[in-house]
């Protein structure tokens, strides 16, 4: 059994719809007024104050597909290396590596504002080896609610970054959203 498989078992992780593996580890029992009310659902008035997960990308599931949440997400690095790609609604793109080498500019904590499209992928180690999976934790404020989540689709990706960049990043879209 690989160290990633052992870790997933030890942390009781399950496949995540975005890719990789996860487990919700905390739900703040307090609620807050829903900042994203749905006028069609008058009962949608509160959200949990925060939720947290462990999230693991592995060589067997190396991509977190483009998605966005309405809520802000704090990310905390634990091990491995990965690349994050963010697309803002104005088309501005950010890319950075997360990992332990702060001296080389790798991030150990980062924040993604609500409404920003995000994908993640394993990044090879400096020596070219595959290494271990990328393990992070995420804290979502207010707490994650599936009603606030959306996967990016091909036509929207093209509209945000243009045909050339969209073609380069097509494999970061969830299967079925690639416009093929």
pLDDT at 126 over 90: no
User: Which fold does the domain 3-28+47-172 belong to in CATH?
Assistant: Jelly Rolls (2.60.120)
User: How confident is the model at residue 163, as a pLDDT?
Assistant: 96
Question: Residue 28 carries which DSSP code?
Answer: -
Q: Where are the beta strands (DSSP E) in 21-102?
A: 21-27, 31-33, 46-48, 51-57, 63-69, 72-79, 82-87, 93-98
What pLDDT, in 10s, does the model give residues 131-157? 689 999 999 999 999 999 999 999 999
pLDDT at 129 over 60: no
Percent over 90 (pLDDT), the chain = 87
19: left (phi over 0), alpha (psi -120 to 50) or beta: left
User: Average of pLDDT values for 123-133?
Assistant: 69
Contact in structure between 61 and 146 (CB atoms under 8 Å): no
pLDDT at 33 over 60: yes
Contact in structure between 64 and 53 (CB atoms under 8 Å): no
User: How confident is the model at residue 132, as a pLDDT?
Assistant: 82
User: How confident is the model at residue 57, as a pLDDT?
Assistant: 97
Residues 6+ positions from 103 with CB-CB distance below 8 Å: none
Residue 180 exposed, middle or buried by CB count within 10 Å (0-12, 13-18, 19+): exposed
The angle at the Cα of 14, spanning 46 to 168, to the nearest 5 degrees, equals 90
Model confidence band, residue 42 (pLDDT cutoffs 50, 70, 90): confident
Contact in structure between 34 and 45 (CB atoms under 8 Å): yes
State the Cα–Cα distance between residues 95 and 132, nearest whole angstrom: 21
Q: Do the bridges between strand 21-27 and strand 14-15 make them parallel or antiparallel, or are there none, so unpaired?
A: antiparallel
Model confidence band, residue 63 (pLDDT cutoffs 50, 70, 90): very high
Domain ranges of the chain: 3-28+47-172
pTM of this prediction exceeds 0.85:
yes
């Amino acid at each position: 059994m690989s160290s990633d498989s052992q870790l997933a078992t030890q942390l009781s992780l399950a496949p995540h719809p975005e890719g990789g593996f996860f487990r919700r580890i905390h739900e703040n029992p307090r609620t807050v007024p829903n900042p994203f009310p749905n006028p069609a659902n008058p009962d949608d008035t509160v959200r949990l104050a925060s939720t947290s997960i462990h999230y693991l990308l592995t060589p067997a599931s190396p991509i977190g597909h483009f998605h966005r949440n309405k809520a802000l997400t704090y990310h905390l690095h634990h091990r491995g290396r990965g690349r994050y790609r963010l697309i803002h609604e104005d088309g501005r793109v950010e890319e950075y590596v997360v990992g332990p080498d702060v001296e080389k500019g790798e991030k150990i904590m980062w924040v993604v504002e609500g409404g920003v499209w995000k994908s993640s992928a394993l990044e090879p180690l400096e020596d070219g080896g595959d290494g271990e999976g990328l393990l992070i934790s995420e804290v979502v404020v207010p707490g994650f609610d599936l009603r606030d989540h959306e996967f990016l689709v091909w036509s929207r990706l093209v509209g945000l970054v243009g045909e050339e960049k969209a073609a380069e990043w097509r494999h970061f879209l969830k299967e079925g959203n690639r416009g093929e």
